[in-house]
Structure 1
Amino acid sequence: MAFELPALPFAKDALGDHMSAETLDYHHGKHHNAYVQKTNGMLDNHEHDLSGAKLSEVIKHAADKGEKGLFNNSAQIWNHTFFWHGLAPEGSTKPSEKLQSMIDSDFGSTDKLLDALSTESANHFASGWGWLILNNGKLEVTSLHDADSPVAHGMTPLFTVDVWEHAYYIDYRNARPDYLKSVLHNIVNWDFVSQNLDGNGVARADQDG
């Protein structure tokens, strides 16, 4: 069974001006789908039998074996799936009591957390991903380059924001900070972030092969 392009968890016009339907047509329908197709093509001709392996298992295998092409494409399937789940229509969610308490303790306020994630992501050189992770019981902001993924490092992911140029160029041209401010302060799916405090975030963007 081949990997598939997961459906968006919201309508393409549900995110309004923060992320347009046109962006989603290209970002999800073309870029994300291309990673799916390339991964499946590589697995069809792979020297190891990875049939039936979960996406997360393929990512870890490729990382361990130094198979850069397979890693980049399979990790991007997972990264994008996790990213889509982390978005929701404006005003539709808010942090759980547990998450809000952790945010206030570790960052001082939700706005300060979002500003930290925005700064980290805006200053990330070239392509990559900004991440909110859980590290030893504390919230932590970090970023990873290109297709690199928490799946390969045993991290506990809570939320991610895509800072590849194709994520924002249609709506914001080259203004990455404007994109980050708009997305992070308006369309974060806090229900998803809160849910991932249980440590099962990797599984929520995984799929069977």
Structure 2
Amino acid sequence: MLVTEEDLRSRLAPQGAAWLTAALATARPTPGSGPTPAGTPAGIPASGVPDGPAGAVPVWELRFAAAGRACGTPETAAAARVLLLHTARPPAATVARLYRHGSAAERLAVLRALPYLELTGQEGLPLVEDALRTNDTRLIAAALGPYAAAHLPAHAWRHAVLKCLFTGVPVTAVAALAQRAAGDGELARMLADFAAERTAAGRDVPDDLRHVLALCAAGRA
């Protein structure tokens, strides 16, 4: 769920709350800007202000990078970054650049913001897929939010569920798990194979694996 500005301000010290107000003001589109029109060159938002190497870095992007110093805890900093992205409505190229060149904390915020950005079903998937290739459990959990639930193909989604079991990410992090797992025989097969491997190796079968198996069975006729 997107944290509101008012809620986040209430969690911050006065100096941090003032910083948030000023930062969000720099991210709000100017009147008449809106989404990038068709035919606008890549990296140029609807306002016509260059966004990226060809022009000055927008102030809100500098605030995005500075949130960790201004907002106290990692969680409040992440919430501030998500709000900045939601407010700025940047094009897909900017979102990808912030992720690719960002710190782990900045990447986490980009992943959490994906459901609230104006991206197509393909524009954010490379970021989700990149996060799922890591062993950073925070990034894996963030990658499996509502955007992945809506857009990640079935094969990749099944492997992402297994990745959670491999790395110890609670499956409660997987958005729409019950809906997507229901009746999924292939996922059930993969989980059963994984459980058999662990049993043969003398290792415990995670409770989360049994839970997902039950969800798969629940959707079968």
Using CA pairs under 8 Å that are at least 6 residues apart, name the structure with larger relative contact order, 1 or 2. Answer: 1
Structure (1/2) with the larger helix percentage: 2
Q: Structures share a fold, TM > 0.5?
A: no
Question: Rg: which structure is higher?
Answer: 2
Task: Please report the TM-score for the alignment, with normalisation by the length of structure 1.
Answer: 0.27
Structure (1/2) with the larger strand percentage: 1
